[in-house]
Amino acid sequence: MPCLPFRERESTVKVFHRVVAFATALAVVATLSPAAHAATARPSKKIKTIVALTFDDGDSTHPAVARMLEKRGMRGTFYVNTDTVGGEEKLTRRELAAIAKKGHEIGGHTLTHVRLTELTRSEQEGQICDDRRALIAWGYRPTTLAYPFGAVDSDAKVVARRCGYDAARGVGGLKEWGCPGCPAGEPFRPKDRYDIRTSGSVREDTLLRHMKQQVLNAEKTGGGLVPLVFHRVCDDCGLYSTTPRLLNRFLDWLVTRKSHGTVVRTLQSAVGARYRPLPVRE
């Protein structure tokens, strides 16, 4: 090698080091797995559709449901009637606590699962407020309510807010076979926070394609919030039920929708519901 002046030798060394560093970086990239390389190469898909999986009535089948969701990294919203917890075919206090500990949302559903539209406002307050008081006394921070039977009127909305709930879910109002002209999804900021719309309850005659279609309807029209209403999850156990096999298949399909900007969230997370303290008894 010819003898170079000091500055030129220094410049040559720097160039050499840069070439080595570049070659090392290329070698690291080459060793990445295809999946890892894809993860580094592509930005995450923007969330367009949020599916909120809600399960009503504090049914004894719900611990198994919670495990199904957890297996896929999902969390659901479980609405319970505090006066029936521990009853026949209902969740126990211990089971409810185990579900909550895994990160699922626990919400109110009135004390005894009554049709609120058949009650006076004072009776509605007893059902909604006392149910929420019980949940808080048990250590939960309920922010959303589900109206039993989806029965809601203007009084029930006022009472839900007065009892400290930041949002409430009805049943119906989104596009389905019985309502082809309804919107496919709720806005992420629902038009009425105290009557969040859903498709009709999942029933024993609801097929997998029906569940999928609720999500696809929203995806095809720009996205939005799609709350789904489930009750019992067991074989041959009543009109308002679905089978574990069918729910598992639907959850597996939902996993594949991430690439389309669809994710599963609790209703609380989806609408940004905040905890509010209990009202002072008058």
Kindly report the CATH number assigned to the domain that includes residue 136: 3.20.20.370
- The per-residue pLDDT for 282 is 60
Residue 217 and residue 95 share a domain: yes
Q: Which domain holds residue 26?
A: 6-41
pLDDT at 249 over 80: yes
pLDDT, tens digit, for every residue of 222-247?
999 999 999 999 999 999 999 999 99
Please state the pTM of the whole predicted model. 0.84
Using pLDDT thresholds of 50, 70 and 90, give the confidence band for residue 137. Answer: very high
Cα dihedral 133/136/142/145 (nearest 10): -20
pLDDT, tens digit, for every residue of 73-87?
999 999 999 999 999
pLDDT, tens digit, for every residue of 211-222?
999 999 999 999
74 in a domain, yes or no? yes
- The per-residue pLDDT for 179 is 84
Residue 77 and residue 15 share a domain: no
Number of domains in the chain: 2
Mean pLDDT over 63-75 rounds to 98
Residue 30 and residue 97 share a domain: no
Residue 150 and residue 84 share a domain: yes
Residue 104 and residue 63 share a domain: yes
Q: How many angstroms separate the CA atoms of 165 and 144, rounded? A: 6
Q: How many angstroms separate the CA atoms of 34 and 50, rounded? A: 28
Contact in structure between 128 and 108 (CB atoms under 8 Å): yes
pLDDT at 39 over 90: no
Residue 157 and residue 23 share a domain: no
Residue 155 and residue 18 share a domain: no
- The per-residue pLDDT for 176 is 86
Mean pLDDT over 186-200 rounds to 96
Residue 93 and residue 15 share a domain: no
279 in a domain, yes or no? no
Mean pLDDT over 148-159 rounds to 98
Residue 109 and residue 210 share a domain: yes
Instruction: Spell out the residues 6+ positions from residue 17 whose beta carbon is closer than 8 angstroms to its own.
Output: none
Using pLDDT thresholds of 50, 70 and 90, give the confidence band for residue 45. Answer: low
Q: What is each CA distance from 222 to 51, 215, 261, 265, in whole angstroms?
A: 14, 11, 10, 18
Q: Which of 2-11, 180-189, 211-220 is predicted with the least confidence, judged by mean pLDDT?
A: 2-11
- Tokens representing 99 are 């579900």
Residue 241 and residue 207 share a domain: yes
277 in a domain, yes or no? no
- Tokens representing 130 are 């006392």
Residue 66 and residue 25 share a domain: no
pLDDT, tens digit, for every residue of 83-121?
999 999 999 999 999 999 999 999 999 999 999 999 999
99 in a domain, yes or no? yes
Residue 157 and residue 65 share a domain: yes
Using pLDDT thresholds of 50, 70 and 90, give the confidence band for residue 278. Answer: confident
